[in-house]
Structure 1
Amino acid sequence: MEKKRLFKYMFTALIAVLFLSSCSSRKSFSKQKTTLNLMQTSDLTTLDNTNQATMSEFSTLTNLDEGLYKLNSKNEVVPAIAKTIAKPTNNGKTYTINLRKDARWSNGDKVTAQDFVYSWRRSVDPANKPVYTYVFSGIKNADAVIAGKISPSKLGIKAIGKYKLEIILEHPMQSFNKLVTMPVFLPQDKVFVQKIGTKKYGSNAKYTVSNGAFKITKWTGINDSYLLVKNKYYYAKKRVKLNKISYTTIKDDNTAYNLFKTNKLDDATVSGVVAQGLQNNKNLKKVSRAWTYYLQVNQSKGSPLANAKLRKAVSLVINRKELTQKVLGDGSTPAGSFVSPKTAIDPTTGKDFSTETATSMQSNVKEAKRLWKEGLSEIGKSSVTLSLIAEDTETQKKVAEYIQSTVQSNLSNVSVKVQNLPAKSLSNKKTAGEFDLSLWYWLADYADPINYLGILTTGNSMNPGKYSDSVFDSYLANAQTAKTKSIYWANLRDAEKKLQKTTGIVPLYYVKEDHLVQSGLSGVVYHTAGFADYTRSYWK
C-alpha cells in the first residue's frame, strides 16, 4: 500500500511538473511568436496619405488602415470598410456605398462617410500640395479641382448620412474597384486631423490614428524604427493573431541577411551579391511583383536629354541582361516595356500585356554612338555632363554605378555624376527638376496597365521628367473614357508603344523580389500589385 501511495504521489508530482513546464513553455513561445520583425529599405517620412507616395509609407499604411475595399489572397477586390462591393448605377457613373457601422479609429472615434469625403478632398486640394492626384481623374470634377479652378468641395463624393457614400464619376471606369484599394483613397479621422492640424497629421505616432488591425507607436517622424501594436478598436481584432509588428530601416543587404540569421528579422528582402549567394537557401521565397525599375529622364526645355536621340542613345547602351544577371543576380529580368509582366492579361487578346507590347531589350552600342553624335550636334554641344540621382540604398547604389560606367565607357564626350540621396532629399531634388537622370521605380498599386501609363501624362505630378507627348496623352484619355473593353485595351497598347518609341522613360528591369522568411511564418499575403499584407499573418 505504501509503495502504491508513493508511486501515486510521484506520478501526480510528475504530471504537475510537466503541466507547469508546458505552461511556461507555451507562455514563452506565445510571447516570442506574437511579434513580427520586418524591414523597410527607406525611412518613413509621413503617414499622411494625401500628400506622399513612397514605398515605406504605402507598405506601412497597408498594415495600419483599411479603405472601402481591399485585396484578398487571390488579389480579388473584397469589402473592407464598405459592407459590400457596390454595383454602379447611372450607366456606370454612380456608386452608392454602405459602410459598416462597427469600424473605429485607434482613438475610439467611429469611421464615418465624412472621413472618406474629407480625405479625398484633401488628396486633390492644391493647397495641400498632393503628389498622387492623377488617380482621381475620372471622378467628377477631380481635374478641375486639381487645376485649382474650383473648390475641393465640388469633388464627386458626398456623405449621405453617417454611413453611406455616394461617388459620382464623369464616365465609367473599368478599374474603379481596384483603384480605390490604393492607400491614397484611405479615409482620415476628420475630427482628429482638424483638432491637431493638417501640418502635424501623420508626422509622428502621436499625430497619427488608424482604422485597421494595428496602430503605430514609437515613431518620432525621424527615427529609423517604429512599432505597430494591435488596435483594440479594430472590428475584426479576433482574426488578428499578432500583437506587434516591429519595423526597422535597413538599406544594406548584408545587414539584412545578418539580422535574419540572428532571428532579428523575420522577413528580409535581399538583392545583388547577397541574393546571388542565397538562391538555394531553404528560407528564400521569390515574390513576383508588378514592379519596374527605370530611369526618369529630364526632358524640360534646355535639358540635354530633351533631345530624343540622346535619350535613345542612353537606353541603347545599357545591357539589361548584364545588369540583371551580374549586378543584381536576384532573379530580376530585363525590361522591354514600362508595364511589368503578370500585371494584367489583355482580355481582348488573351496575352500578357507586358509581353505583347515589349520592344527589343538588346543593347546596340553602334546605333547608340550614331544617335549620340547626331544628338550632340542638334543641341549644339560638343560634350555634356549628366547628373544621375538615386536613393541611398545598396541596390540603387550598385545600379547607379553600373549606369554611370556603361554610359561613360560607350558614349563619347559625356560625364555622369552620381548622387545617392535619402528618400526625402531625392524627392525634393526631383520636384525641383535638379537632375538629368533619376533612378526610380514604379510598383503598381493595382493590377492594370493604366496605373503605370497614367503617371506619364503631361503635367502629372508623378512625372518629374516632364515627358509630354500629345499623342500619348490622347491614347490615355481615350482609354479612360472607353465604353468597351476593346477600345480600352487598344488605346493602352498604343500608349505603351508610343512611350517606347519616344523614349519617354528608360525601362531597366522587372523586380523579382527575394525574401528570406523564417520557417513557421504563415498567412502573409504578397500582392503582385500593391504591398504585402501582414495583418493576418501568424506563427505555426
Structure 2
Amino acid sequence: MNFKKLAVVGSLVLMSGGLVACGKASAKSSSTQKTLHLMQDTDLTSLDTSNTATLTQWNVLQQSMEGLYRVNSKNKVVGAMATKVVKPTNNGKTYTFHLRKNAKWSNGDKVTAQDFVTAWRRSVSSTSTSGYSYIYEGIKNATQISAGKKSTKTLGVKAVNQTTLKVTLSRAMPYLSKMLTMPAFFPQDHKVVAKYGKDYGTSSTKMAYNGPFTVSGWNGTNDSWNMLKNTYYYDKSAIKLNKMTMQVVKDSTTAHNLFSQGKLDDATVSGVTAQGLQSDKHMKHVSKAGTYYLRLNMAKNHALHNKYLRQALNLVLNKSSLTKKVLSDGSTPAYNYVTPSLVTDPTTGKDFGTETASTARYNVKKAQQLWNKGLKQLGKKSVTLKLVSDDTSISKTIDQFVQAAVKQHLSGAKVNVSAVPDKTGSSAVSEGDYDMQYTLWLADYADPVSFFDILTKNNPQNYGHYRDTVFNTQVSEAHGKNATNTKAYWQNMRTAAKRLNTTTAVVPLYNMTESHLVNSKLQGVVYHSVGENDYTRASFK
C-alpha cells in the first residue's frame, strides 16, 4: 500500500551530514538486564489500525498485539489467538478458527471472536482512512463494502460464539494464513472500541492489548513511550523482558551516538552514517523483502510506453556499482521486482526471487542499440524524461546516478529531476505527471502476489499503467482456477515474474537492507525479512 511504502522510504533513507567514528561502545548489559532500549525513526501517530497504517505503528503493535496467527523464530506461521493453523473447507473458501480460551486483553477482558469482527469491519469500511482496506479483498463482500455499496455487516466474518470465528471468502486465497499475521488483521477489544469511539487508539490508555507487552506513556503526540510486560498474556512465561523503552530518533548520527552512549540496544542507521560503520563489530545487516526501483509511466502519451526505451534504461544502469560504490551500506543490486528472501517456491525448493531473476545485466552497447531502436519507432531524435522522487539526500543521490548514466550513454536522452516532498511527488504520480519515479515496494506478506497485484490492469495503485495480457492472465488464474492447485499456482507466479522482466515493467535498482547496531549481549530478536522485527522473546546474555 502506497502510504505505508512511502513512510518506509522516508524513514529508512535519512542521511547524516557527515561521517562519524565507528562506535565501539554498546548499551550497558548484563544477564540481569530486563529492559530493552529501542528506537523508531518516524513519529507514532495512532494505534488504531483501522484509520492509520505506518511503519512505526506496526512496529509497536508487533510487540503489543497478536492476531489469529503469528510468525515464529523459524519464519513459520503458528497459532496465536487461534489455537492452531487451520485448513480451509468449501474448496478453500471457508475458515473456522477456534480461539484460545485463556486469551485475555490487558484490561482483563476475554479475547472473543467479536473482537475480530469489530476490527475487520472497521478496517474494511468505506470510511476507513488507513489505506489498507484493499488487503481484505477476497473476503466475501469486502470490495463492495470498501466501495460503499454494501454494509459492513455483510463482510464474510462471523462470531459463531465467543471462541469460534468463521471467515468466508469470495475466492480461495492460499496465502491467507500469511496475511493473517499482519497488524491489519489484529483484533480490537470491541468493548474498548465502543467506549472510546473515534478516540480509540489516539493514546496508549485508549486501547487494550492482547500481546506480550502493553504500551504506556504515549499521549498521542510525544516521541517516547514504554512497553510493559503484559501480565494477562497467555504465554507470559516465554517473555523474559519486563520492559521496553522506545524513542523516536530521526537522525542516523543521533542514533549512532545514543547507541555508543549505551542508551540504545538496537539502533537503525542509514546513509553516510551506515557507510562509515560497515566494519563495526556491532553492525548487523537485515535483509527485507522490499525492492527499491524506478516506476515507469507506460501510458500511451509517454515515451516509456515503448518497451525498447524501457529495456535500454534497465541495461544502462550499473546496479553493482550503485550498491558497492554509491550506497556502500550493505545493499545488494536488484535484478528482479520480487525480492530474494521473500519466499521459497515449494514446487522447486528454490528462492523465488532468485530463480525468476532477470539475466539482463549492465550492457551499455546493447542499451544504446535498444534506445536507438525505440527512438526510431517513436519517430523522434531525442526524449526528455521527468524523474520524480522525494527530497531526501539518498533520493537525490539516486537521481544523480540515473541522470548521469542516461546522459553519458544514451544519445538524445535527457532526465529532468523533480525532487519534491512525498505529498507533492505522490500527487504528480497519481496524476500521471512523470516518466519515472524512485520508489519502494515492501511485501505485505510472504507471497509473490503481494508484489504482483499492484501491477495488474485494474489495480488502483498501478500508477505506471502497466497493461500486459500475459501478466494479467497469470495473476488472474492464480487468484482463480489455480488458487488451490499448488503446482499450477506457482507456475503462474514464475511466468508472471519472468513476464515483468521481459517487458521491463519496472527497473529494479537495489534490494532493501536495514543496517542495525546491536548490543552484543542481546539475543532472541527475530529479524523477519517480511513484516516487522519481533523483540518480544528477546533477552540479554
Judge conservation of contact 1:133–1:461 (CA < 8 Å) in 2.
no
Assess, with a 3 A threshold, how the Cα gap between structure 1 residues 367 and 130 changes in structure 2: closer, same or farther.
farther
Match of 2:386, SS state, is strand
Partner of 1:131: 131
Aligned to 1:65: 65
Indicate the residue corresponding to 1:179 in structure 2.
Answer: 179
Provide the C-alpha distance between the structure 1 equivalents of 2:348 and 2:174, rounded to a whole number of angstroms: 17
Report 1:160-179 matches (<5 A): 160-179=160-179
Residue type at the aligned position of 2:120: W
- Specify whether residues 331 and 448 from structure 1 end up closer, same or farther in structure 2 by C-alpha distance, changes over 3 A only: same
Structure 1 position 100 matched with structure 2 position 117: no
Following TM superposition, by how much is the alpha carbon of 1:337 offset from its aligned partner in structure 2, in angstroms?
Answer: 0.9
Q: Specify the code of the residue in structure 1 equivalent to 2:190.
A: K
Write the deviation string for residues 140-198 of structure 1: whole angstroms up to 9, x where unpaired. Answer: 23333344443332222111112210012234332221221111111122332343334
Give the structure 2 partner of residue 215 of structure 1: 214
**For residue 196 of structure 2, what is the aligned residue in structure 1?**
196
SS in 1 for 2:390: strand
Secondary structure at the aligned position of 1:513 is classed as strand
CA displacement 1:342-383 (0-9 Å, x = unmatched) = 322222223221122111352234444555566667397955
Unpaired segments of 5 or more residues in structure 2?
Answer: 1-27
User: Could you say which residue in structure 2 is the equivalent of 1:388?
Assistant: 388
Note if 1:437 corresponds to 2:433: no
Instruction: Identify if the C-alpha distance between structure 1 residues 256 and 486 changes in structure 2 by more than 3 Å, giving closer, same or farther.
Output: same
- 1:24 corresponds in structure 2 to none
CA distance in 1, matches of 2:534, 2:94: 30
The range that moved more, 341-350 or 295-304, is 295-304
Aligned to 1:490: 491
Q: Describe the shift of the 1:384–1:341 C-alpha distance in structure 2 as closer, same or farther (beyond 3 A).
A: same
- Equivalences for 1:214-233 in 2 at 5 Å? 214-233=213-232
Whether the 8 Å CA contact 1:304–1:379 is kept in 2: the answer is no
Q: Distance in 1 between matches of 2:430 and 2:106?
A: 34
Match of 2:502 in 1: 501
Name the amino acid aligned to 1:109. Answer: D
Equivalence map 1:277-356=2 (5 Å) = 277-299=276-298, 302=301, 305-356=304-355
CA gap 1:53/1:298 in 2 versus in 1, 3 angstroms:
farther
Q: SS of 1:42's equivalent? A: coil
Q: How many residues align?
A: 510
Structure 2 residue aligned with 1:158: 158
In structure 2, relative to structure 1, the CA distance for the partners of 1:69 and 1:259 (3 Å cut) is: same
Q: Which has the higher contact order (CA 8 A, sep 6+)?
A: 2
**1:241 maps to which residue?**
240
Task: Pick closer, same or farther for the CA change 1:120–1:409 going to 2, 3 Å.
Answer: farther
SS in 2 for 1:127: coil
| Pair 1:538-2:529 in alignment | no
**Contact between 2:448 and 2:493, CA under 8 Å: does it hold in 1?**
yes
Query: How far apart in 2 are the matches of 1:233 and 1:54?
Result: 27
Structure 1 stretch 297-306 or stretch 114-123: which is displaced more?
297-306
Residues 117 and 375 of structure 1, relative CA distance in 2, 3 Å threshold: farther
Q: CA deviation at 1:536?
A: 1.4
Give the secondary structure class of the aligned counterpart of 1:242. Answer: coil
- Aligned pairs for 1:417-456 within 5 A: 417-419=417-419, 421=421, 436-456=435-455
Give CA deviations for 1:233-276 in whole Å, capped at 9, x if unaligned: 33333432323323333344333222221112211223444434
Question: Deviation at 1:478?
Answer: 0.9
| Rounded Cα–Cα distance in structure 1 between residues aligned with 2:432 and 2:102 | 46
> Match of 1:128, SS?
coil
Amino acid at match of 1:120: W
Deviation track 1:502-533 (CA, whole Å, cap 9, x = no partner) reads 33222111234332111211111111221210
Task: Determine the C-alpha separation between the residues in 2 that align with 1:242 and 1:288.
Answer: 26
Cα pair 2:204 2:220 within 8 Å, conserved: yes
Q: Output the CA distance in 2 between the equivalents of 1:403 and 1:485.
A: 40
Instruction: Give distance in 1, aligned partners of 2:523 and 2:391.
Output: 31
Give the distance between the partners of 1:131 and 1:317, measured in 2 at CA. Answer: 35
> Would you say 1:476 and 2:475 are equivalent positions?
yes
Letter in 1 for 2:77: V
- 1:272–1:327 Cα contact (<8 Å) kept: no
Shift of 1:66: 0.3
Bigger shift: 29-38 or 318-327? 29-38
TM-score with structure 1 length normalisation?
0.84
Distance 1:53 1:248, change over 3 A: same
Q: Which moved more, 1:348-357 or 1:44-53?
A: 44-53
- The C-alpha deviation readout for 1:205-225, integer Å capped at 9, x for no partner, is 354443212233444545544
Paired AA for residue 155 in structure 2: L
Gaps of 5+ in 1: 1-27
- Equivalent AA in structure 2 for residue 384 of structure 1: T
CA gap 1:147/1:304 in 2 versus in 1, 3 angstroms = farther
RMSD: 3.2
The more displaced of 521-530 and 299-308 is 299-308
Please name the residue that 1:265 is paired with: 264
Q: 1:526 to 1:149 in 2, by over 3 A?
A: same
The amino acid that maps onto 1:126 is S
In the alignment, structure 1 residue 528 sits paired with structure 2 residue 538: no
- CA gap of 1:351–1:235, structure 2 versus 1, over 3 A, is closer
Equivalent pair of 2:403/2:414 in contact (CA under 8 Å) = no
Shift of 1:418: 4.0
Give CA-to-partner distance per residue, 1:280-305, whole Å, 9 cap, x none.
Answer: 33222233332322223344565554
1:96 to partner: Cα distance: 1.1
| Distance of aligned partners of 1:30 and 1:271 in 2 relative to their CA distance in 1, 3 Å threshold | closer
Evaluate the alpha carbon distance shift between residue 73 and residue 395 of structure 1 in structure 2; reply closer, same or farther with a 3 A threshold.
farther
- Cα separation, 1, equivalents of 2:187 and 2:429: 28
Matched, 1:46 2:46: yes
Q: Distance in 1 between matches of 2:360 and 2:223?
A: 38
Equivalent residues of 1:397, 1:420 under 8 A apart: no
Could you tell which deviates more after superposition, 487-496 or 331-340?
A: 331-340
Aligned residues of 1:389 and 1:435 also touching (Cα < 8 A): no
Contact 1:216–1:227 at 8 Å: present in 2 too? yes
Query: How big is the shift at 1:310?
Result: 4.3
User: CA, structure 1 residues 239+346, in 2 after alignment: closer, same or farther (shift >3 Å)?
Assistant: closer
| CA distance in 1: counterparts of 2:155 and 2:381, whole angstroms | 48
Query: Which residue pairs with 1:205 in the alignment?
Result: 204
| Contact 2:296–2:437 (CA under 8 A) maintained in structure 1 | yes
TM-score norm. by structure 2 comes to: 0.84
Matching residue's letter, 1:205: S
